[in-house]
Structure 1
Amino acid sequence: MKLSDSRTINADAATVWAGLLNPDVLKACVPGCTEMSGSAQEGFEATVVQKVGPVKATFKGAVELSEMTEPESLTMTGEGKGGAAGFAKGGADVRLEPQGDQTILHYDVEAKVGGKLAQLGSRIIDGFAKKMADQFFENFSEAVGAPAVQEDTPDSEETPQKKGWFKKLVS
């Protein structure tokens, strides 16, 4: 399964780069992630709980970063094992393109699954993978970027998570 897309993030390339290397940001952005540890230099270890069609599994895996050209591009490769559910492995080439106060994040993802997951069929797996990628990059954009300018609405007094929380930390 291959997927390519891009996202515009309301943050400069250095802030986006720092977010990609931060385990706390990654944990907050990966859907279903319950644990994330490690560093960009040594790699990350993660535990992710997901339900794909009728199969629910806890994946334990590792992600390594390579071909890092700060703050322009990097490659993420990883593999997770979900016990009887099977395994998932793949990688993403990420490229950052500064555009004024914003950054366009381009990504090319390739993923493979095996075991019970592979038996679900490519339509289910491809749809799930696209949904996961979209959720991750949407969460990442909200965590790292400044919030988009919105009109004042009295009904929205509280939001579950502050937008741009990572950018505020590094500013």
Structure 2
Amino acid sequence: MALDIAGEYVVPASRATVYSAMNDPAILKQCIPGCEEIEERSDGEFAAIVRFEFGPLKARFRGKVRLFDRDPPNGYRLVGEGEGGVAGFAKSSAVVALEDTPTGTKLTYQLEANVGGKIAQLGQRLLMSTTKKMADQFFQNLVAALTEPVRTELEAKPQ
């Protein structure tokens, strides 16, 4: 089953900071919903274990992502694949673009994914809404990860 999803988010940080964060395994682990483990295997290649919940189906996927056409701090293209055992598989390709805005960085993405197995049997509507919800959570987590030190620093200052 094919899925096409696009989104746009404004992150209150510079393009260089956002680009760097989106390539940092520690930050990615903190931001990816259900991420249990992530490691950079080589420059631009990551391996991860992520636990997903698609409606009634829960699965643990082992996957890898490779970055292509890197243009720091403007964006890149990524290609990934994951295996979830009896739950099925997923293969994806996405283009991520970053541009300056008055309040930070606008991040846009265009994702094309193919899923098979039991997850494909759940139906496109459920998969689309779950995938969109996970993307939203990722970007909320990214904003929190990039602004948390500022909050902590502000809270530590005596009034």
TM-score by length of 2: 0.87
Secondary structure in structure 1 of the residue aligned to 2:131? helix
Aligned counterpart, 1:55: 57
How many matched pairs? 149
The one-letter code matched in structure 1 to 2:143 is S
Aligned residue in 1 for 2:36: 34
1:77 equivalent among 79, 82, 106? 79
Once residues 2 and 113 of structure 1 are traced to their aligned partners in structure 2, the CA distance between those partners, rounded to angstroms, is 11
How far off its partner does 1:99 sit? Answer: 2.0
Q: Which structure dedicates a bigger proportion of its chain to strand?
A: 2
- Where 1:139 maps in the other structure, the secondary structure is helix
RMSD: 1.7
Q: Secondary structure at the match of 1:11?
A: coil
Structure 1 unpaired stretches of 5+:
147-162
Deviation at 1:40, TM superposition (A): 6.5
Runs of 4+ in 1 over 3 A off after TM superposition: none
List runs of 5+ in structure 2 lacking aligned partners: 154-159
Question: Compared with structure 1, are the counterparts of its residues 12 and 67 closer, same or farther at alpha carbon in structure 2 (3 Å cutoff)?
Answer: same
Percent of aligned pairs with the same residue? Answer: 42
Q: After TM superposition, give the deviation of residue 51 of structure 1 in Å.
A: 1.5
Match of 1:121 in 2: 123
TM-score, length basis structure 1: 0.81
**1:134 aligned to which of 133, 136, 141:** 136
